[in-house]
C-alpha cells in the first residue's frame, strides 16, 4: 500500500463542498424522507402524536383525497398558480422599468422602496392587511365616501384576501431575479434589433424576453414554490373560506397531532408542485422548439457546422 507522498497530501476536489452537502443531507434530504415515510404510517389513537408503521399503509392518502382535504389542495394550486402569474404580470413591468427605463442614479432609490417593507416581519405585514381590508376600515369607508360602494367591503376572510396577500408577500421575489437579468442585458442589443428593422414590441418579444428567460424561470420558481406551501397568509387573511394546504399540514401536525395525515397532505402538496412545474417545463420546451423551427435558416448548398472542415482533414 505504498502511495506517492505528494498525492496523499492532496484532498479530492469535492472536499471543500462536503460541509455544505452534509448540511443539505441532514437538514433537507433526511426530513423529506422522514415525511414520506410518516405518510405511510397510522396515528396511534389517543396518543399525543405518536405514529405506528406496521403495517405500512396507503390509508392516509385515501384520507387526503377525500373532498374535505382535496378541495383545499385544489384551491391551494389555484391560488398559487394565479398568484405566481399575477406576480409575473405585475413584476415584469416594474423590473423592466427599473432596469431599463429609469436613469441608473435613481435605481438605488427604487430598489430601496421595494426592499424597505421587507424589513418588517412577514406576519406583521400580513396582519397589516387585516386593517386595510377590514369591513369597517379606512379603505372601506373611503370607497363608500367617494361613492364607489354603498356598503362595507367584504374581502377579509375570503379567497380574494389570500390571493391579494400572497401576491403582496411574494412579488419582490419575482422582481429581483427579473431586475438582475434585465439589468445585465446589453442595451446595444435592443438598439441592434431596432437598427435591423424590428419595432419596439418585436424587439421585446424577440430579444429582450428570450434573453431574460432565465430570470423569468428563477422568478416563477422562487414565487411558486414557497407560495404553494405558505400557510401564514391564508391563516391570517383567509379565515375558513381561504384555507390552503400549508395550513392543513400545520393543523394536522400541531392541533390534530396526526403526523401521518399531515405528512400525506404535505407529500401530495409536493407532488402537485412538481406536477405543475413539469407541465410548465414541457409547455415551454415545446414553445422553444417551435420558435427554433421558425427562426431556423437553411442555407442552400451547406450541410451542418464544420462538416466541410472535418471531411478535409
Partner 1 sequence: MTMASIETNEFGLQTANGSVDIVGVSKFFGDVVAVDSIDLRVAPGEFLSLLGPSGCGKTTTLRMLAGFENPDGGSMYISGREVSALPPYKRDVNTVFQNYSLFPHMTVAENVAYGLRQKRVDKKEIARRVGEALEMVKMTKLAKRKPRQMSGGQQQRVALARALVNNPSVLLLDEPLGALDRKLRQEMQIELKMLQRDLGITFIFVTHDQEEALSMSDRIAVMLEGHIEQLADPDTIYEDPKSAFVAGFIGQNNFWQGTATTRGLKAYDGTEIESAKMQSGIGAGSAVLACVRPEAIEVTSTDPGSGANRVAGVLAGVSPLGDIVQFVVRTDSRELLIRAPRREAARVLPGDPVWCTWAASDAYVFDSSQSDLVLVDPTTENAPSGD
In angstroms, the CA 55 to CA 111 distance is 55
Q: Considering the rule CB under 8 A, would residue 217 count as an interface residue with partner 1?
A: no
Q: Considering the rule CB under 8 A, would residue 147 count as an interface residue with partner 1?
A: no
Nearer of residues 146 and 188 to partner 1, judged by Cβ: 188
Nearest alpha-carbon partner for 276 in 139, 80, 94, 111? 80
Nearer of residues 54 and 302 to partner 1, judged by Cβ: 302
Distance of CA 97 to the CA centre of its chain: 22
Nearer of residues 67 and 187 to partner 1, judged by Cβ: 187
How distant, in Å, are the alpha carbons of 8, 12, 176 from that of 2? 10, 18, 54
Burial of 239 (0-12, 13-18, 19+ CB in 10 A): middle
Q: Considering the rule CB under 8 A, would residue 102 count as an interface residue with partner 1?
A: no
Min separation Cβ 106 and partner 1, Å: 15
- β-pairing verdict for 42-43 and 51-52: antiparallel
Instruction: For Cα atoms 98, 99, 104, give the angle at the middle one, nearest 5 degrees.
Output: 85
Nearer of residues 136 and 309 to partner 1, judged by Cβ: 309
Q: Which stretch binds partner 1 (CB under 8 A): 31-39, 201-209, 238-246, 274-282?
A: 201-209
Helix (H) or strand (E) holding 290: helix 259-295
Q: Considering the rule CB under 8 A, would residue 306 count as an interface residue with partner 1?
A: yes
Site string for partner 1, 16-55 (x = CB under 8 A): ----------------------------------------
Nearer of residues 255 and 302 to partner 1, judged by Cβ: 302
Rg (CA), the chain: 26
Burial of 272 (0-12, 13-18, 19+ CB in 10 A): middle
Q: Considering the rule CB under 8 A, would residue 297 count as an interface residue with partner 1?
A: yes
- Beta-bridge partners for 42: 52
Q: Considering the rule CB under 8 A, would residue 305 count as an interface residue with partner 1?
A: yes
- The packing angle between helices 30-38 and 259-295, to 10°, is 120
Min separation Cβ 300 and partner 1, Å: 6
Figure out which of the listed residues 2, 20, 299, 313 binds partner 1, where binding follows CB under 8 A.
299
Site string for partner 1, 180-199 (x = CB under 8 A): ------x-xx-xxxxxxxxx
Min separation Cβ 199 and partner 1, Å: 6
Q: Considering the rule CB under 8 A, would residue 304 count as an interface residue with partner 1?
A: yes
With beta carbons less than 8 A apart as the criterion, state whether 155 and 133 touch: yes
Residues that bind partner 1 (CB under 8 A): 186, 188-189, 191-200, 202, 206-207, 210-211, 295-302, 304-306, 308-309
Amino acid at each position: 500500500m505504498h502511495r506517492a507522498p505528494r498525492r496523499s497530501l492532496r484532498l479530492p476536489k469535492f472536499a471543500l463542498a462536503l460541509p455544505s452537502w452534509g448540511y443539505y443531507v441532514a437538514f433537507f434530504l433526511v426530513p423529506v424522507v422522514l415525511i414520506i415515510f410518516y405518510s405511510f404510517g397510522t396515528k396511534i389513537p389517543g396518543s399525543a402524536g405518536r405514529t405506528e408503521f406496521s403495517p405500512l399503509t396507503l390509508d392516509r392518502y385515501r384520507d387526503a383525497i377525500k373532498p374535505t382535504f382535496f378541495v383545499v389542495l385544489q384551491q391551494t394550486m389555484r391560488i398559487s398558480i394565479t398568484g405566481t402569474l399575477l406576480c409575473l404580470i405585475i413584476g415584469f413591468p416594474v423590473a423592466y422599468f427599473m432596469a431599463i427605463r429609469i436613469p441608473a442614479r435613481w435605481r438605488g432609490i427604487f430598489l430601496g422602496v421595494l426592499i424597505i417593507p421587507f424589513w418588517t416581519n412577514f406576519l406583521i405585514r400580513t396582519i397589516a392587511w387585516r386593517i386595510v381590508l377590514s369591513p369597517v376600515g379606512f379603505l372601506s369607508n373611503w370607497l363608500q365616501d367617494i361613492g364607489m360602494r354603498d356598503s362595507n367591503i367584504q374581502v377579509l376572510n375570503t379567497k380574494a384576501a389570500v390571493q391579494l396577500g400572497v401576491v403582496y408577500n411574494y412579488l419582490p421575489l419575482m422582481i429581483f431575479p427579473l431586475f438582475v437579468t434585465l439589468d445585465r442585458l446589453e442595451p446595444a442589443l435592443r438598439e441592434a434589433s431596432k437598427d435591423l428593422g424590428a419595432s419596439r414590441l418585436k424587439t421585446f418579444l424577440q430579444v429582450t424576453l428570450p434573453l431574460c428567460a432565465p430570470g423569468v424561470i428563477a422568478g416563477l420558481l422562487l414565487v411558486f414554490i414557497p407560495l404553494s406551501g405558505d400557510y401564514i397568509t391564508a391563516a391570517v387573511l383567509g379565515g375558513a373560506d381561504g384555507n390552503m394546504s400549508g395550513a392543513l399540514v400545520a393543523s394536522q401536525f400541531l392541533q390534530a397531532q396526526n403526523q401521518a395525515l399531515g405528512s400525506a397532505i404535505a407529500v401530495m402538496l409536493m407532488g402537485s408542485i412538481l406536477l405543475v412545474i413539469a407541465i410548465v417545463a414541457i409547455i415551454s420546451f415545446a414553445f422553444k422548439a417551435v420558435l427554433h423551427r421558425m427562426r431556423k435558416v437553411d442555407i442552400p448548398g451547406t450541410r451542418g457546422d464544420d462538416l466541410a472542415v472535418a471531411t478535409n482533414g
